[in-house]
Amino acid sequence: MKTTLIDSPASLAHRLPDGHPEHDGRYTAVREALAGIAGTVWAEAGQAPVEALARFHTVEHVDRVLTACAEAGVEGFIGLDPDTVVCGQSARAALSAAGGAIAGVDTVIRDGQGAVFLLARPPGHHAEPDRPMGFCLFNTVAIAAMHALEIHGLPSVAIVDIDVHHGNGSQCLAERDERVLFASLHQSPLYPGTGHRGETGLGGNVVNVPLPDGTDGAAWRAAFEAEVVPALRKTQPALILVSAGFDAHADDPLGGLGLVDEDYAWAAERLAALASEFAHSRLVSVLEGGYDCPALGRSAAAFVRALARA
Ligand SMILES: [Zn+2]
């Protein structure tokens, strides 16, 4: 399928203290790995306006993040929680990530179909309506979902979260809006400690698939088929959004699952097939986690190559 790669070069402006796992080398690793993949076209993200963020976040949250960045100044850092730190340019990066996701939605709706992969940091899926957390400032995928629902008038959207961590912030959106299906495969127990099977949202629009430490790719694929696919088929969303974290990879230092590069190609193939089955072949994936740079680059490239082949 036509595959647009949306690049957010402002990702490099989001600097973090030395030793932080969510460093700018992650962006560079993916950018280099995605160069020259056949069948892809590149576009560049612009910044999301505050009103787009405020379709998911509270205005107080947006103000708090923007103010902290302004106060960090040229050389400083400000911690919003023990893991989540900003510098003076972090707002520019986070606004560009959200803008890129919105542009991804606009692209697949304008073209009538297609796949988008957004290369941006910081990640977003832990950010709650009124709380930055887990390296995340603004919830990129939730903002994109609200843009699809409110600006394009889609009747429903799905967020499929394949990051090794549970997307607690994105789940908040489904818990308040029955037009959203949130389905997540994640390691449990693990940060942030949410994502239990008993969390089912509004009449079942939250589907959590917690997986034990050590789960390999075969078991991960089986869980996807058994639990995520039926939820998508039942919901028939008009657009599939993917929180594409690559930290379920066996080489990742923060996760304990055992996926390999080929599992991400498989996931992209399955998601593209499901999108063509009922979501008008509209599939927008946004980068979340992935903290071993070589594995991250290879996995993201495998994912994008599979999209372009689909
Ligand atoms: Zn993660």
pLDDT value at residue 143: 99
* pLDDT tens sequence across 32-45: 999 999 999 999 99
Residue 166 appears among annotated catalytic residues? no
Mean of pLDDT values over 68-88: 96
Kindly give the distance from the C-alpha atom of residue 151 to the centroid of ligand 1, in angstroms, as a whole number: 29
Question: Which residue out of 57, 61, 125, 126 is catalytically annotated?
Answer: 126
pLDDT score recorded for residue 123: 98
pLDDT of residue 58: 98
Query: Could you report the per-residue pLDDT of 146-161, keeping only the tens digit for each?
Result: 999 999 999 999 999 9
What's the 290 CA to ligand 1 centre distance in angstroms?
6
Cα 125 to ligand 1 centroid, rounded to whole Å: 8
**DSSP for the chain?**
--EEEEE-GGGGG----TT-SS-THHHHHHHHHHTT-TTEEEEE--PPPHHHHTTTS-HHHHHHHHHHHHHHTTT--EESSSS-EE-TTHHHHHHHHHHHHHHHHHHHHHHSSEEEEEE-SS--TT-BTTB-BTTBSS-HHHHHHHHHHHTS--S-EEEEE-SSS--HHHHHHHHH-TTEEEEEEEESS-TT----TT--TTTS-EEEEEE-TT-BHHHHHHHIIIIIHHHHHHH--S-EEEEE--TTBTT-SS---BB-HHHHHHHHHHHHHHHHHHSTTEEEEEE----SHHHHHHHHHHHHHHHHH-
Rounded to the nearest angstrom, the distance between the alpha carbon of 291 and the centre of ligand 1 is 8
Question: pLDDT confidence of 242, banded at 50, 70, 90?
Answer: very high
CA of 110 from ligand 1 middle (Å) equals 31
All structural domains of the chain = 3-309 (3.40.800.20)
CA of 61 to the centre of ligand 1 (A): 22
Per residue in 152-195, pLDDT (tens digit) is 999 999 999 999 999 999 999 999 999 999 999 999 999 999 99
